A and B are shown apart, each in its own frame.
Chain A
């Protein structure tokens, strides 16, 4: 490929683009999209009928992480790579750095996905949302991401275009930020090949998780898709981008502000109030930077609106960008503490997320795919009518999904806080769940529409692919090599009068003209360094105080580490994905403490590696389960068949916990690993872990027998997994043991 003659500015170099890798990524985007969304429909159906949890590997708690990981990292990820590989080569006028690295990236990523698809149903998980993959897979993810980064930045360096276009800025932000986020949230201490413990505990782990979780939304589901939009939308519309200046300002403000917003996922929890406040305020400030992207998208279509009605690519883009605008308005709204008090733990969050993913991410991907297909397969799309069907059915699917789920979220949030005239909570928890089931049916229907629509689209693409030429035409392009010297564009003088007093004003004025940015675009490595600085500095502003202000997490002397048996129980709790439906975080809100007991204190989760506060209450909060419901027999019956104790419950039955033997030997490894991350177990505790676990199991079993009246019917569970889980549940929330402050005499009667 590289020319043999000496390079000079005037010599044209000949090159072609690697579209084969784009075809590969596009194919798996659709494949994993179908798989991930199918799993989504299955778990949606499981919430309407618990019998649909047909096997332990296919229960909601294990499949939900598979759904999220598949749609985010497999569907979304491969789409991002397709977009990056297609557009970067063209925007930089060069082939990717290495065809080999491209293939290593492709196959490595697919192997990781297969690894996830196998391990998550097996219950191998780290227990943190969107960071479930166990440490060996995490290492593979990091290695493959490095391959991608080398390939991408190598391509940037050997470009034949001096200035990098805005799409490339967003890709740079993605590559850098995801690396930082992924590594630092996934730091764990392995106990063995399939189990590990986060090195952070409680409030700090929660903070790291949502610093990661929120910014995965930012840098995996937003920035790369904005980059995609900036390339494919003006291409498809054949219109210039609305505003170059706006793209500069909204890019940098997104990169800097997004990072701070993570703690808005933790309002009213055991994180310090200042973190929560920063999370809310930076979310509010993020509103306009996000809308900058929407404006630049929609206003780019000025002059092309007449074509939107006819071109399915533009239709997908317009609806996608509109959903982006809705979601990024709703995000700041949900980050307001008083709104969040209502929305948190409810389906409102689920609706918000799906408006963003089905609407924005999904539709941007589909728009891109339909634009790429005729170019990559070098033939017109067969059955363009089917593409239209895909668009309309998917749009209806989104509405059928989100409208009932918004309603479900609002309803449940309001029911949770309703007191009757006697000052008693009006609804017991279970009734707030069963009332939602009709809405869950409609949601399942909506998800099915979206999936069927994708099938129809895939069929049209399949038929198009069948019509591809025998050998793809590979056009050869010519461009001069990048000149080593380049002339920086001058910054115009400020029109303000020359006067030493207002020299600062003149400097600010020149800065605000943004012409300097054009020169920054010519030096991508410096540009990347600035992006990294923005991301890292914004992170450290919150991370450093979070880990250094000791008074934020006051120790409680009565809170002690879990016993070995409770650790095993906790491992099973993590493995079964209980955290996907049960929170362990009671917020300081009267309706909440009346329902669940005294609110959770930061000092109560200092030994929780990882934290298990949860983000959604499909089932009730369990932070004080040990206080509220110490009955071993109740738990045994509930695990055997939840509707026996809780008629109408949608929890799956956990018969395998009752049948599978308890592995007492794992407790030593667990305790040893936990000791390494700072839980105060000494060598005696580690050495005696197994014996201690056996002794406690005998105690729990004895309680079962006592409660049952005799050993009949419970004998078979003597040394099964359920014993450890019961021990863990009986411990939850019991350490605090602090009386509630009852009615302060007549001091402050004011209620807000």
Chain B
């Protein structure tokens, strides 16, 4: 089978030898395994041994360690960016007039609160946050405690384990700032009308 030189593509060049056996007419060549194939097989084996030793002997970090480091860095960055926000009236009031901070808070609101309070705060299963009537809020500082501790029997979760304090202060300011806006489909007011935030 090595005599044809006219069709180098369709004819094995070096004339491989056939094995002696056949099965139902099927023959097999006695070709060696391709060198690149055996080589790559050995590379994966050697890499695996090295990788296993590096990570199982405690040299490399585990997924959990990597996560803890990354999370630490993430929260450090958040805390630095937000600064030391206290849940007091003055801080919340100043945040309510800080557009840049409110924009950051809006992201938190949309991904965590909008599911019940609607994206524009008009209320769905949760109450309307825009109408000036509140179930559990008497004064500006109350937003922080309701966000932190929730109103669990009514379906509002406690968020103190999800957000660092500064994030909760920021959210409090955002929710307070929703008052007086006009949502697309407002839920009827619940609770009692609370005096405006700037009232003394």
- Residues of chain A whose beta carbon lies under 8 Å from any beta carbon of chain B: 87, 90-91, 93, 161, 163, 165-166, 230-231, 234-235, 240-247, 249, 253, 267-268, 273-274, 276-278, 281-282, 284-285, 287-289, 291-292, 295, 299, 302-306, 337, 420, 422-426, 428, 518, 588-590, 593-595, 597-599, 627-634, 637, 644-646, 703, 706-707, 709, 738-744, 746-752
A267-B63, A281-B48 known, 9 other contacts, Cβ within 8 Å: A90-B24, A285-B48, A305-B10, A593-B67, A599-B67, A631-B156, A741-B68, A743-B164, A752-B70
Q: A93 to B24, alpha carbons, bound, how many Å? A: 8
Residue contact A423 to B81, C-beta cutoff 8 Å: yes
Select from chain B the residue with minimum beta-carbon distance to A244: B28
**B162 — which chain A residues lie within 8 A by C-beta?**
597, 740
- Assembly CA distance A425 to B114 (angstroms): 14
B155 is contacted by which of A165, A306, A631, A709 (Cβ under 8 Å)?
Answer: A631
Cross-chain contact A631 with B31 (CB below 8 angstroms): no
User: Of the candidates B30, B74, B112, which one forms a contact with A423 in the assembled complex, judged by CB atoms under 8 Å apart?
Assistant: B74
Contact partner of B37 (CB less than 8 A), chosen from A268, A281, A291, is: A291
Across the interface, A273 reaches (CB within 8 A) one of B37, B63, B79, namely B63
Contact A703 B69 (CB under 8 A): no
Which residues of B are found within 8 Å of A709, using beta-carbon distances?
A: 190
A-B contacts, 23 of them at CB < 8 A, read A231-B26, A235-B25, A240-B27, A240-B29, A242-B29, A242-B31, A243-B33, A245-B31, A281-B51, A299-B31, A424-B108, A428-B114, A629-B116, A630-B152, A630-B156, A631-B156, A740-B162, A741-B68, A741-B72, A742-B75, A749-B72, A750-B73, A751-B73
In the complex, the answer to whether A743 meets B72 with C-beta atoms within 8 Å is yes
A632→B27 contact, CB < 8 A: no
Among A246, A267, A632, point to the contact of B33 (Cβ < 8 A). A246
A424 touches which one: B70, B72, B111 (CB < 8 A)?
B111
Contact B23 A634 (CB under 8 A): no
A519 to B28, CA, bound (A): 16
Query: Which residues on the B side are within 8 Å of A273 (C-beta)?
Result: 55, 62-64
Bound-complex Cα distance A720 to B75 (A): 44
Contact A288-B79, Cβ < 8 Å, known A631-B125, A634-B124, A743-B164: no
Q: Is the CB of A424 within 8 A of B107?
A: yes
Is B31's CB under 8 angstroms from A750's CB? no
Interface string of B19-59 (1 = CB under 8 A from A): 10101111111111110011011001101100110011000
Q: Which residues of A contact B12 (CB under 8 A)?
A: 302-303
**Contact between chains at B116 and A588 (CB < 8 Å):** no
Query: What is the minimal beta-carbon distance from B191 to any residue of chain A, in angstroms?
Result: 11
Across the interface, A288 reaches (CB within 8 A) one of B9, B30, B41, B160, namely B41
Query: Which of these, B31, B70, B112, B152, contacts A751 with CB under 8 Å?
Result: B70
Given A703-B153, A750-B73: A287 and B40 within 8 A (CB)? Answer: yes
Known A-B contacts A240-B27, A277-B55, A632-B155; the reply to A337 vs B63 at CB < 8 A is: yes
Partner of A645, one of B27, B112, B124: B124
Bound-complex Cα distance A594 to B161 (A)? 11
Residue ID in chain A nearest B66 by CB atoms: A752
Question: With A and B bound together, what is the CA distance between A244 and B32 in angstroms?
Answer: 8
Q: Is B196 part of the contact surface with A, judged by Cβ < 8 Å?
A: no
* Residue in B75, B155, B190 whose CB lies within 8 Å of A743: B75
Is the CB–CB distance between B24 and A424 below 8 Å? no
Q: Are A634 and B44 in contact (CB under 8 A)?
A: no
Shortest CB distance B24–A (Å): 4
Chain A residues within an 8 Å CB radius of B34:
246, 295
The winner among B26, B62, B66, B126 for most chain A CB atoms within 10 A is B26
Task: Choose from A428, A646, A751, A752 the contact partner of B111 (Cβ within 8 Å).
Answer: A428
A93 to chain B, nearest CB (A): 8
Which residues of the other chain, B, contact A751 by a CB distance below 8 angstroms? 69-70, 72-74
- B74 CB contacts on chain A under 8 angstroms: 423, 590, 594, 751
In the assembled complex, the Cα of A127 lies from the Cα of B190 at a distance in Å of: 43
B28 touches A247 (CB 8 A): yes
Complex Cα distance, B168 from A742, in Å, reads 13
CB-based contact A588/B64 at 8 Å = yes
Residues A748 and B48 in contact in the complex (CB < 8 Å), given A273-B63, A742-B75: no
CA gap between A590 and B27 in the complex, in Å: 57
Q: Is B110 an interface residue (CB 8 A)?
A: yes
For A300, give the chain B residue with the smallest CB separation: B29
Q: How far is the CA of A288 from the CA of B195 in the complex (A)?
A: 73
Q: How far is the CA of A263 from the CA of B151 in the complex (A)?
A: 41
Cross-interface CB contact of B11 among A163, A303, A748, cutoff 8 Å: A303
CB distance from B192 to the nearest CB of A (A): 15
Find out whether the CB atom of B68 lies under 8 angstroms from the CB atom of A243: no
With A247-B28, A588-B64: A292-B107 Cβ-Cβ less than 8 Å? no
CA distance A650 to B112 in the complex (A): 20
**In whole angstroms, what is the CA distance A669 to B115 when docked?**
37
Chain A residue numbers with a CB within 8 Å of B160 are 739
Q: Is the CB of A241 within 8 A of B125?
A: no
Q: Report how far A302 CA is from B34 CA in the complex, Å.
A: 15
The residue in chain A whose Cβ has the minimal distance to the Cβ of B104 is: A422
- When the two chains form their complex, are residues B37 and A741 in contact, meaning their CB atoms are under 8 A apart? no
State A568–B164 Cα separation when bound (angstroms): 36
Q: Which one of A243, A288, A627 lies within 8 Å of B32 (CB-CB)? A: A243
Interface string of B90-108 (1 = CB under 8 A from A): 0000000000000110011
- B103 / chain A contacts, CB cutoff of 8 Å: 422
Contacts of B78 in A (CB 8 A): 423, 743
Chain B residues positioned under 8 Å from A165 (CB to CB): 23-24, 26
Write the chain A residue with the least CB distance to B126: A631
**For the complex, what is the distance from the CA of A165 to the CA of B104, rounded to whole Å?**
67
Q: Which residues of B contact A267 (CB under 8 A)?
A: 63
B18 an interface residue at 8 Å Cβ cutoff?
Answer: yes
B77 contacts partner chain A, Cβ-Cβ < 8 Å: yes
CB–CB B28/A703 < 8 A: no
Q: How far is the CA of A738 from the CA of B162 in the complex (A)?
A: 11
**A637 vs B162: C-alpha distance in the bound complex, in angstroms?**
25
Query: Complex formed: what's the CA distance from A599 to B77 in Å?
Result: 20
Among A267, A277, A589, A706, which residue has the most Cβ atoms of chain B within 10 A?
Answer: A277
Q: Which residues of B contact A644 (CB under 8 A)?
A: 124
The CA of A424 and the CA of B110, in the complex, are separated in Å by: 10
Docked CA distance A281–B157 (Å): 42
Given A247-B28, A281-B52, A285-B44, check contact A630 B157 (CB 8 Å).
yes
Residue B3, interface by CB 8 Å: no
> B71 within 8 Å of A by Cβ?
yes
A residues in contact with B18, CB < 8 Å: 240
User: Which of the residues B26, B61, B114, B154 comes within 8 Å of A234, measured between beta carbons?
Assistant: B26
Inter-subunit contact A241/B44 (CB<8 Å): no
Residues of B within 8 A of A285 (CB): 41, 44-45, 48
> Residue B76 at the A interface, CB < 8 A?
yes
Q: Could you tell me the distance in whole angstroms from the C-beta of B177 to the nearest C-beta in chain A?
A: 16
Which chain B residues border A302 with CB–CB below 8 Å?
10-12
Residue of A nearest to B73 (CB): A751
Q: How far is the CA of A303 from the CA of B155 in the complex (A)?
A: 72
By the criterion CB–CB under 8 Å, are A284 and B47 in contact?
A: yes
Nearest chain B residue, comparing its CB with the CB of A635: B125
Q: Across the two chains, which residue of chain A brings its CB closest to B64?
A: A588
Chain B's closest residue to A239 (CB) is: B27
**Chain B hits for A741, CB < 8 A:** 68, 71-72
Q: Which residues of B contact A590 (CB under 8 A)?
A: 67, 70-71, 74
Whether B29 pairs with A589 at a CB distance below 8 angstroms is no
B164 interface neighbour in A230, A742, A748, Cβ under 8 Å: A742
CB distance from A215 to the nearest CB of B (A): 19
Complex CA–CA separation, A597 to B160 (angstroms): 11
Min C-beta distance of A368 to chain B, whole Å: 15
Partner of A707, one of B47, B107, B115, B125: B125
